[in-house]
Amino acid sequence: MMKWAVVLCAIVALAECQMKITLIKGKSARQTLVEKGKWEETRKKFPSKPTAKFNFASKVKSSQPTGNEAMTNDADLSYYGVISIGTPPQSFKVIFDTGSSNLWVPSVNCTSAACQNHARFNPGTSSTFTWAKESVSIQYGTGSMTGQLGYDTVSVGNISVTNQIFGASQTEATFMTNMDADGILGLAFPDISSSSATPVFDNMMTMGLVNQDLFAIYLSGTSGNSVVSFGVIESNFYTGQIHWTPLSSESYWQIKMTSVTIQGKTAACQGGCQAIIDTGTSLIVGPDSDINNINSLIGATTDQYGDAMVDCKNIPNMPAVTFTLNGYAFTIPASAYILQTDNTCITGFGTGSPDLWILGDVFIRQFYTVFNRQNNTVGLAQAVHSVKGVLLNPAASSCSNTLNILLYTICLS
Ligand SMILES: *[C@@H]1O[C@H](CO)[C@@H](O)[C@H](O)[C@H]1NC(C)=O
Ligand SMILES: *[C@@H]1O[C@H](CO)[C@@H](O)[C@H](O)[C@H]1NC(C)=O
Ligand SMILES: CC(=O)N[C@H]1CO[C@H](CO)[C@@H](O)[C@@H]1O
């Protein structure tokens, strides 16, 4: 049955087998808190810890026999997509996170503040739900998350994964209160999945639900037309060639970086370093000395909370920063690495990682990224930012009848 559906899908895909889902660029926690006048207070309470979600420390300590899951206190995260879990479906906004591997959403039993303003999963009303034996527990810089694992049908776009294992949280870190997303859908490798829970994309591959074992992400700077597509590379999101880099580790989407240069001179990553491509981190994060060097070369001053500030008026005079991966140069102009909230401009370069570089949304917005499980490579191409055509027309996302012919999606309605 499933195979037939896939074959049918490959030839003529009506809305039933749509392979991509629109990502919404919602409000970041920073924006929400600035509007409420609570940003100063909150960032004192929750200092930026861009690598908290990676549990570098707890991996070493291994004091948590039940495993850890990713949480975040990233104030600038803003992209999420809607998935559903259960029969009948219950909807959740999730961060499609290539920097972690578990799926989790809040549960009806969760009494934490963060669960009160988010959608919560009710297993009691899903006919396809079953509990798993394990519980999950997250130790996290600013709090913890605990929950139960269960299995249910998870629908991503119109791909339905049956018996997908996921976490239903019972307590959550307070910082999540400020986030638009209810939960996280991890797109990294099984290796780093807590409780060895099979990641959603691994099930999609095993069950033959994708045409090719890859997914691709386009992040737009404006709201509305960012996309994650499963099983297909969509050529209208990029220009030029896709440059492929083999993974150096199949855990995160990890690759070797050759250097980071500014105006032809090495500014960071001297002699090479390791980097991961992470949609679940908003900034480009690296070791403190490297990041401080970049920020000082572009003329930023770092405040007491670690935000590197620049005068918004200086953006046109600031140099581009080039990341070299596998012999290819990926250059980010100042207009793309500066983030503006009201009249405040911060750079997209954040400190706090012990050694691994994290190429987050600031990087991915510039480069359409293909996460290829067929040959364990990452493909990067210059993203297109003002594309014409049906796919990027905001109306196309509300188009219910589409026809997929090879790589193109045509709106029928
Ligand atoms: C909620 O709590 C009750 C009682 O502690 C438990 O039986 C039930 O399984 C829990 N449900 C969820 C979704 O965690
Ligand atoms: C990996 O696969 C892509 C297509 O899916 C191909 O274009 C690329 O050349 C391959 N790269 C390597 C290193 O095998
Ligand atoms: C994301 C998506 O394509 N959703 C569609 C799935 O199919 C139903 C009908 O079967 C449509 O209503 C949705 O819009």
**Cα-trace Rg, the chain:** 21
Which residue has its alpha carbon closest to ligand 1 atom 10?
Answer: 109
With a 6 A CB cut-off, is 246 part of the ligand 2 pocket? yes
Atom nearest to 233 CA in ligand 2: 5
Distance 150 CA to ligand 1 centre (A): 12
278 among known catalytic residues: yes
**Ligand 3 probe mutation, 14, 18, 94, 227, most atoms within 8 A of CB:** 18
With a 6 A CB cut-off, is 404 part of the ligand 2 pocket? no
Output the pLDDT for position 279: 93
Atom nearest to 402 CA in ligand 3: 3
- What is the DSSP secondary structure assignment for residue 376, as one 8-state letter? T
Ligand nearest to the CA of 373: 2
Instruction: Identify the CA nearest to 49 among candidates 32, 70, 22.
Output: 70
Distance 255 CA to ligand 3 centre (A): 36
Domains of the chain with CATH codes: 19-220+392-400 (2.40.70.10), 236-383 (2.40.70.10)
The 10 Å CB-count burial string (b at 16+, else e) for 347-359 is bbbbbbbeebbbb
With a 6 A CB cut-off, is 18 part of the ligand 3 pocket? yes
Alpha carbon distances (Å) from 123 to 55, 104, 149, 152, 167: 29, 13, 11, 9, 11
Q: Could you read off the pLDDT of 344-358 as tens digits, one per residue?
A: 899 999 998 889 999
182 among known catalytic residues: no
Write the Ramachandran bin of 158: left for phi over 0, alpha for psi from -120 to 50, otherwise beta: alpha
How does DSSP assign 212-223, residue by residue? SSEEEEE--SSS
Ligand nearest to the CA of 130: 1
Ligand nearest to the CA of 216: 2
SS3 state at 242: strand
Q: Are 50 and 42 in contact (CB under 8 A)?
A: no
Output the pLDDT for position 269: 97
pTM given for the model: 0.84
Q: State CA 311 to chain mean position distance.
A: 28
Q: From CA 213, how far away is CA 161, in angstroms rounded?
A: 15
Which residue has its alpha carbon closest to ligand 2 atom 7?
Answer: 244
Token pair 């970049």 is at which residue? 294
Q: From CA 329, how far away is CA 331, in angstroms rounded?
A: 6
With a 6 A CB cut-off, is 400 part of the ligand 3 pocket? yes
Side-chain-facing half-sphere of 67: CA atoms under 13 Å: 19
With a 6 A CB cut-off, is 21 part of the ligand 3 pocket? yes
Which residue has its alpha carbon closest to ligand 2 atom 2?
Answer: 375
Q: Are 372 and 246 in contact (CB under 8 A)?
A: no
Helix (H) or strand (E) holding 10: helix 2-11
Residue 285's Cβ-count burial label (10 Å; 0-12, 13-18, 19+) is buried
**Ligand 2 probe mutation, 233, 372, 373, most atoms within 8 A of CB:** 372
Output the pLDDT for position 329: 96
Q: Which two tokens stand for residue 79?
A: 């992209």
Ligand nearest to the CA of 227: 3
pLDDT per residue of the chain (413 residues) written in tens, 0 to 9 = 444 444 444 444 443 344 777 888 888 888 888 888 888 888 777 777 777 677 554 343 333 333 334 456 677 888 899 999 999 999 999 999 999 898 999 999 999 998 999 999 999 999 999 999 888 775 544 456 788 999 999 999 889 999 999 999 998 887 788 888 999 899 999 998 888 899 999 999 999 999 999 999 999 887 668 999 999 999 999 999 999 999 999 999 999 999 999 999 999 999 999 999 999 889 999 999 999 999 999 999 988 877 899 999 999 999 999 999 999 999 999 999 999 877 889 999 999 888 999 999 999 999 999 999 999 999 999 999 754 333 332 233 333 434 333 333 333 33
Helical H segments across 12-99, by residue range:
29-36, 39-45, 56-61
Output the pLDDT for position 330: 97
With a 6 A CB cut-off, is 328 part of the ligand 2 pocket? no
Output the pLDDT for position 223: 67
Output the pLDDT for position 189: 96
Output the pLDDT for position 42: 80
